[in-house]
Structure 1
Amino acid sequence: MVRQRPSALLIDMDGVLRQWDPEVRAAVERKYGLTPGTVLDTAMRWSLLQPAVTGQVSHADWMASVADALTEAVGSPELARAVVDECEIYRGAVDAEVLAFVRAVRANGIRVGLATNATDALDADLATLGLIGEVDVVVNSSVLGVHKPTKDYFQQACLAVETPPQQVLFVDDSDRAVRGARVAGLSAYRWSGPEGLPYLRAALAA
C-alpha cells in the first residue's frame, strides 16, 4: 500500500483533546477513605466499561455498576453512590494547544473526526466543554456499537471523514489503539503530549 500525505485527521478525546486532573478524583477518594485511583481502576474494568462504550448500556447504568462495585470498599450503597456522583461532577478540561491544532488543521481544509471510545454522555460533555462544532464529525463507539482498536471501528471512522484509510492520520494516547489503526491501514501517531504537535503539523502541513 502506498502511503499518501494525510488528507483527514482522526483524533482521540480522552488523554489527547481532553485532559483529566487526577487530583480532583483523588480528593473525593480520600474523603471516603479510598486509595487514590480506586474509582478509575473500577470504572475501567472491561466487564463494566465495554457494555457502555458499545452502546449496550447507558452512561448512567455504567456509573451504577461502578457504584455497586465500590459498595464493599466504602461500606454502603449510599456512600458508593455519593463517591461516583461527586467524581462525575468534574468533566475534565480541554487541552488548549490541541484544540488550536485542530482548528488550524480544519482551516487548511483537512477534515477532522473525533475518534473516541465513549458513552452516550459524550454529546453532553462536548457541550459542557465548549467543543460543539470544533470537529467535522464525532465517531462515538457507543453509537457505532464497536470500539477501538477493532478494524471495524476504524473502517467506519474513515467512512465518517469520507477519506480512505491510507489518507487518514490517527492520533491516540493508547498503544493498542495506535496498533489497531495501523492494522486497519491508517497512519497512526502515539500521543504523549504537546511536544508531538510540530511533527503532526508537518505531517498534515497545518
Structure 2
Amino acid sequence: MKPAVLMVDVDGVVIRHPDPSGWSARIEEELGVPRLALQARFFKTCWDDVVHGRAALRDRLAPVLAEIAPHVSCDQLISYWFEGDAHLDAALLTQLAEVRGAGVSLHLATVQEHERASYLWNRLRLRDLFDDMHYAAQLGVSKPSQDFYAAVEQRVALPASAIAFIDDTERNVEAARARGWRAALWTPGATLSSLISELTG
C-alpha cells in the first residue's frame, strides 16, 4: 500500500557531509575558532534550548564567541556552518522526485533550529523539492521522542499508518515504528528501491 506521505530526515540523509568529522572539522584552522571549546561551551551547554525553540541561536552563540573567538561574528560562524553543511545527496533527491511524481507527498522531518531550517528551505531551495518541513524548534520536541511523531501527525492530519519515514539513526526509526509509521533505516549506498518493501508494507 502506497503511503500518503514520505517523511525524510535531513542530516545524514538528504545532506551527507563528505568528512566524517562534519562541518567543523577545520574550523580552528580556517576561522580561528577552537573546535573543542565551541562544542563544550555552545553545543553541549546551549544547543538543547536552541534546537527546541526555547532560545534564539544568536542569543546563545554571541556570548560564547565573545569568549572563545572574539574576532569572529555570529554572521561569520553561521555562514561557515550552514554553507559547510550543505552537501545535498543528488542521487537521493532524484529518487525522491520520482516518488513525488508518483503521487506521494514528500516532507522533511528533522531536528533543526529556526535559522538553519530557514536556510535549508529557502537558500538551498528544498521547498522546491518537498511539500513541507517539520522540525524540532517549530514543534518544541525532537526525535526520537514519541511527542515529535505525534506532533507531525497532527500537523499533516494523517494517521500513523499513512506515513512512511527514512532516517539514518536507528533509534529514530525504531521510535517511528513504535508509533505506527512505516520506517526504514537509511545507510550509505542505500536506495529507495532497496527499502521499498519496508516503506510500503
Distance change (3 Å), C-alpha of 1:41 and 1:177: farther
Change beyond 3 A, Cα 1:52–1:110: same
- Tell me how far apart the structure 2 counterparts of residues 87 and 34 of structure 1 sit (CA, whole Å): 14
Deviation at 1:110, TM superposition (A): 0.9
TM-score (norm 1): 0.77
* Paired residues of 2:106 and 2:130 also in contact (CA < 8 A): yes
Q: Structure 1, unaligned stretches of length 5 or more?
A: none
- Deviation per CA, 1:150-182, whole angstroms, max 9, x where unpaired? 112101212333431123111111222122212
Partner of 1:195: helix, strand, or coil?
Answer: coil
Match of 2:9 among 8, 12, 17: 12
- Per the alignment, residue 147 of structure 2 pairs with 152
Matches within 5 A, 1:15-30: 15-22=12-19, 25-30=24-29
Q: Which position in structure 2 is the counterpart of 1:58?
A: 56
Aligned length: 195
Native 8 Å contact 1:93 1:129 kept in 2: no
- 1: CA distance, partners of 2:144 / 2:63: 24
Greater Cα shift, 88-97 or 77-86: 77-86
Match of 2:128 among 124, 128, 133: 133
- Relative to structure 1, the CA distance from residue 8 to residue 24 in structure 2 (aligned partners, 3 Å threshold; closer, same or farther) is closer
Q: Give the superposition deviation at 1:40.
A: 5.6
Q: CA deviation at 1:124?
A: 2.4
Structure 1 residue 33: deviation in Å?
7.8
Query: Structure 1 52/82 Cα, relative in aligned 2: closer, same or farther at 3 Å?
Result: closer
Q: Which runs of 5+ in 2 are unaligned?
A: none
| Other-structure match for 1:114 | 108
- Say whether residues 1:123 and 2:118 are aligned partners: yes
Q: 1:166·1:186 contact (CA, 8 Å) conserved in 2?
A: yes
Q: 1:67 to 1:190 in 2, by over 3 A?
A: farther
CA distance in 2, matches of 1:42, 1:185: 38
In structure 2, the partner of 1:87 is 80
For residues 30 and 149 of structure 1, what CA distance do their matches in structure 2 show? 34
Mean CA deviation greater in 21-30 or 91-100:
21-30
In structure 2, the CA distance between the partners of 1:133 and 1:85, relative to structure 1 (3 Å rule), is closer
Give 3-state SS (helix, strand or coil) of 1:18's partner.
Answer: coil
Q: Distance in 2 between matches of 1:83 and 1:133?
A: 27
TM-score, length-scaled by structure 2: 0.79
Aligned to 2:163: 168
